[in-house]
Chain A
Amino acid sequence: MIRFTWLRFRAQAAVVAGAIALLAVAAAGLLHRDDSTARLWLGVLVDVAPGLIGMFWGAPLVAREFEDGTFRLAWTQSVTRRHWMAVKLAVGGLASMAAAGLLSLVVTWWAGPLDHAALNQFATFDQRDIAPVGYAAFAFTLGVLAGALIRRTLPAMFVTLAVFVAVRMAEFTWLRPRLLHPVLLNLALNPGSTGYGQGGSLLPVAFSSPTLEPNPPDLPNTWITSTRIVNAHGEGLTTHVLDSACPGINRGRGGGGGGLGGHTKAPQAVVNTLQDCVAKIGTTYHQALAYQPASHYWPLQWYELAIFLGGALVLAAVCLRRIRRA
């Protein structure tokens, strides 16, 4: 069964292996290693590769057999369909992990000097080192399951992509910041670098009222997961407190403070009002930071790998259960 699966799969595997080899040669020979645009695009490539693997390797693997009716040929050979499914999952899953791992290795190696200089390793967390291996295993298995449940290739491909993107976003925004205890840091409010706005939120003002926005300090190679303004009791700054302390601050909407949001120069009067306000609030309130320090980078990479590999194993178990009852 392993030899047969490989017989069917090797052409695709060869194409991908060739593409990665070509990319490695091109990166080594042609791209200047201080080309930050190339760094950006190579990073995007590593970001999208797992989703593509799930769509183009995972989803069609079983769905095509249902569409063409060849599952009736496959399932009447002297191999049980659980065995058939297990081997397909193992061979395809390992190939997906190898492809994503090699791609990540090439990009991590090539971008090394630029990453080192950028001092912002968490910005490229999902595109470097071992995390992409877990994403690829998960996306592939998700694709196989979608194909086994939906039994049609094209819908299975789109469902795979949609679910994979949703899971990745949920993991990144909700789970990852909670995996390890952040380092907490209290700082005084700096009138010179605190602005006023709604934190880049796309929600209308009615849902997210604008407030003071401290410009977080520059902590190299860390990931700042939250910045809040709190008083000595840990209570957050409310709109009510802000408005009563600084009447008229709303009239300065759109203008930034001295530091943040300085795209358009705010009128000097507005800047003065804001700075006075920050100084006044700063007597009872301070800035509370939570961040993942540089030393958490590798533990988080391993957690990320373990979470997505674990997810892939759960999905694989569902595949095996489903195929027996089909």
Chain B
Amino acid sequence: MNDSINKTLLAASGLGKRYRRRWALSDCTLEIPAGRVVGLVGPNGAGKTTLLHLAAGLVAPTTGTVEVLGGRPGDGPAQLGRVGFVAQDTPVYSGLSVAGHLRMAAYLNPGWDAGLARRRIEQLGLDPGQRAGRLSGGQRAQLALTLAIAKRPELLILDEPVASLDPLARREFLRSVAGTVAGHGTSVVLSSHLVADLELICDYLVVLVASRVRLAGDITALLAAQHRLSGHPVTLDDLVVSSMSQTGDGR
């Protein structure tokens, strides 16, 4: 993935999405370099989920443009294969077994890594014959993550994947994501409203408030700059909260 360093992971320009009469995202301009594990934070309703759906190609923009890995999201099987996506609440087919899900993903993804998927299911201790509807929330999230990882994407998009998990399942899930990044050099964009989740694995931060980027950059650099500015060490939590509570009019 050395060539991905020069590439842009995600570039949005004047991006907007309207559902009927409500603008879920409007005039969002944003650029994220490749090879990063990006934490996307912001209050509810900031447009995080809509931005990620646009990036995954699930919805089409109403205004503006968005490019992911240099291509248009959802534009053909090749582009779909380069992006792994885990939706909020980690949907799976409740009547289909764990093994059935793996078979489905093998049918639908030319780049499917069957060995990787099988190993992960074994490590997680999931019963392949178990129906997905009978899995715990943490197991279901891990199954959804396995489906997204084993298609060997260049970018993994995770929309609030741990929001409904207990602290232990949350930590294990994030560890799985970190393992994938280390093993395959996959770029990640992960949204959450809990800064503690991001601290574990992210090295790049984007704060989104009301469709606008309030803060974006390398986390270490952002913290160092804030330290110089305020004269005392700051936590990531401080940084996020202070950027979210600024009034946005000055931009």
Given contacts A7-B104, A77-B80, A77-B105, 16 further A-B contacts (CB under 8 A): A4-B103, A4-B107, A4-B108, A8-B93, A68-B91, A72-B58, A72-B85, A72-B87, A72-B91, A76-B57, A76-B85, A76-B87, A77-B109, A78-B78, A78-B81, A81-B74
Is the CB of B113 closer than 8 A to any CB of chain A? no
CB–CB B58/A76 < 8 A = yes
A3 contacts the other chain (CB 8 A): yes
CA distance A87 to B198 in the complex (A): 40
Interface residue? B129 (CB, 8 A):
no
Is there an interface contact between A76 and B83, defined as CB atoms closer than 8 Å? yes
The number of chain A residues with a CB under 8 A from chain B is 20
B151 beta carbon closer than 8 Å to chain A:
yes
What residue of chain A has the Cβ atom nearest to residue B157's Cβ?
A76
**Once the chains bind, are B60 and A325 in contact (CB under 8 Å)?**
yes
Given A79-B80, A79-B108, A325-B60, A8 and B96 contact (CB-CB distance below 8 Å) = yes
Contact check: which of B60, B83, B108 meets A1 at CB < 8 Å?
A: B108
Residue A225 lies at the interface, judged by CB distance under 8 Å to chain B: no
- Complex interface: chain B residues within 8 A of A69 (CB): 87, 89, 91
Q: Could you tell me the distance between the alpha carbons of A70 and B109 in the complex, rounded to whole angstroms?
A: 17
Q: With contacts A8-B93, A73-B92 known, is A78 near B108, CB below 8 A?
A: yes
Report the nearest A residue to B75, measured CB to CB. Answer: A80
A77 — nearest CB in chain B belongs to which residue?
Answer: B108
Chain A residue nearest in CB terms to B59: A326
Report 12 cross-chain contacts, Cβ distance below 8 Å, ordered by A residue.
Answer: A4-B107, A7-B96, A8-B93, A69-B89, A70-B91, A70-B93, A75-B58, A76-B87, A77-B105, A79-B108, A80-B74, A80-B76
Instruction: Provide the residues of chain A in CB contact with B103, threshold 8 Å.
Output: 4, 7
In the complex, what distance in Å separates the CA atom of A40 from the CA atom of B31?
69
Residues of A within 8 A of B (CB): 1, 3-4, 7-8, 68-70, 72-73, 75-81, 83, 325-326
Q: Which of B106-132 contact A (CB under 8 A)?
A: 107-111
Residues of A within 8 A of B59 (CB): 326
**Scoring B residues 133 to 155 as 1 if CB is less than 8 Å from chain A, else 0, what string do you get?**
00000000000100110010000
> A81 to chain B: which residues have CB within 8 Å?
74
Q: Does B56 contact A (CB under 8 A)?
A: yes
Cβ contact of A78, chosen from B53, B56, B77, cutoff 8 A? B77
Roughly how many angstroms separate A3 CA and B84 CA in the complex, as a whole number? Answer: 21
Bound form: Cα–Cα A68–B144 in Å: 14
Check B151 against A77 for contact (C-beta < 8 Å).
yes
Q: Please report which residues of chain B, range 21-63, place their CB below 8 angstroms from some CB of chain A when the two chains form the complex.
A: 53, 56-60
CB distance B92 to A70 under 8 Å?
A: yes
* B residues less than 8 Å from A3 (CB atoms): 107
Q: Does B164 contact A (CB under 8 A)?
A: no
B110 touches A76 (CB 8 A): no
> Are B111 and A4 touching (Cβ within 8 A)?
no
Q: Is B109 a contact partner of A76 (Cβ separation < 8 A)? A: no
Residues on B with beta carbons closer than 8 Å to the beta carbon of A80: 74, 76-77, 80
Bound complex: CA A244 to CA B111 (Å): 88
B10 CB, min distance to chain A CBs, angstroms: 16
B94 within 8 A of A: yes
User: Is residue B100 contacting chain A, with contact meaning CB distance below 8 A?
Assistant: yes
